[in-house]
């Protein structure tokens, strides 16, 4: 059995589906298993970072564990990960894959966010498991935050329009995650995962407009205005802080990119335009 934390999030949902299609028995750790929508045959298992030990599972032994940092909670996520890892070892686990961020390796944004990823990376490396760390760029799915503005005004009001990053498709992250959970060849590897091209915020808005067949404009506003607008919609302050801090550091220098997805999967990474095309209805 493979255990996936953060199993109902964007990446976790994709991983669970991919593993299930390969015939693997999967346990999806979730805070609310009664509400979790998981593929047929997947075990939705209650788990909360306040009680981080491995929960009761329908099998005695597990094969591998996927760790999503956001699932580790806001209080002492490194310690939560450490306890989960230790109980996974007790269940016979051999491998662990951690979803991390490129800021650990390349910097960018507020230091406190990279530090959180670092503490969990340290816990993974200190475990007795065969580990793989996936340091990702920003996700294509972040574009969904612009959808309400585009639907109502066809104008995106944002900050740091010239900030350039190699945005990665969620499904590529999931595919690499599934690969590393199943194969010991990736033991001890820290991979940088990115999309195929560097795009500015303005470029991304242009792509959305091209795909939905509308003229979508970028309107530059201050970071403070962006932050206030996001918080007013009920978004936790850490989300705009994380996003704006990262973008601010990639105005003068583009964010990192790599060929890892193509090397590991044997195909080019999926583009930002492909993600938008798959979700065009959200912007129309």
Q: How far apart are CA 262 and CA 193, in angstroms?
A: 10
Q: What is the pLDDT, as a whole number, of residue 107?
A: 87
Residue range 174-183, pLDDT digits in tens: 999 999 999 9
The reported pLDDT for the residue numbered 60 is 85
Question: Given this model, what pLDDT does residue 87 score?
Answer: 95
What are φ and ψ of residue 141, in 5° steps?
-65, -15
pLDDT at residue number 82 = 97
Mean pLDDT per 10-residue interval, the chain, length 284 residues: 95 96 95 87 94 90 96 93 96 97 90 92 97 97 94 96 97 98 96 98 98 97 93 87 91 95 97 98 97
Q: What is the pLDDT of residue 136?
A: 97
Domains of the chain by residue range: 2-137+168-194+256-270
- Fold for the domain defined by 2-137+168-194+256-270: Rossmann fold (3.40.50)
Establish how many alpha carbons lie within 13 A of residue 24's alpha carbon, considering only the half-sphere containing its beta carbon.
22
């Amino acid at each position: 059995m493979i255990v996936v934390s953060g199993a109902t999030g964007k990446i976790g949902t994709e991983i669970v589906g991919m593993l299930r299609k390969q015939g693997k028995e999967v346990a999806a750790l979730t805070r609310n298993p009664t509400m979790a929508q998981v593929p047929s045959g997947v075990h939705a298992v209650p788990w909360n970072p306040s009680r981080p030990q491995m929960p009761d599972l329908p099998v005695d032994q597990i094969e591998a564990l996927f760790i999503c940092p956001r699932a580790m909670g806001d209080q002492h996520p490194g310690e939560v990960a450490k306890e989960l890892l230790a109980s996974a070892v007790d269940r016979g686990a051999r491998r662990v894959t951690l979803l991390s961020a490129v800021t650990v390796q390349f910097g960018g944004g507020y230091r406190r966010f990279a530090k959180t990823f670092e503490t969990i990376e340290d816990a993974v490396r200190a475990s007795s498991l065969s580990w793989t760390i996936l340091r990702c760029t920003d996700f294509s799915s972040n574009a969904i935050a612009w959808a309400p503005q585009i639907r109502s005004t066809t104008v995106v009001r944002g900050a740091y329009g010239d900030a350039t990053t190699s945005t990665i498709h969620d499904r590529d992250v999931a595919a690499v995650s599934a690969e590393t959970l199943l194969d010991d060849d990736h033991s001890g590897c820290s991979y940088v995962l990115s999309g195929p091209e560097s795009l500015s915020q303005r470029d991304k808005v242009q792509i959305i407009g091209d795909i939905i067949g509308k003229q979508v404009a970028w309107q530059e506003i201050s970071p403070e205005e962006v932050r206030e607008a996001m918080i007013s919609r009920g978004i936790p302050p850490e989300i705009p802080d994380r996003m704006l801090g990262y973008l601010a550091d990639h105005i003068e220098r583009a964010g990192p990119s790599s060929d890892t997805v193509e090397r590991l999967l044997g195909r080019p990474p999926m583009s930002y335009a492909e993600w938008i095309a798959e979700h065009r209805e959200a912007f129309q």
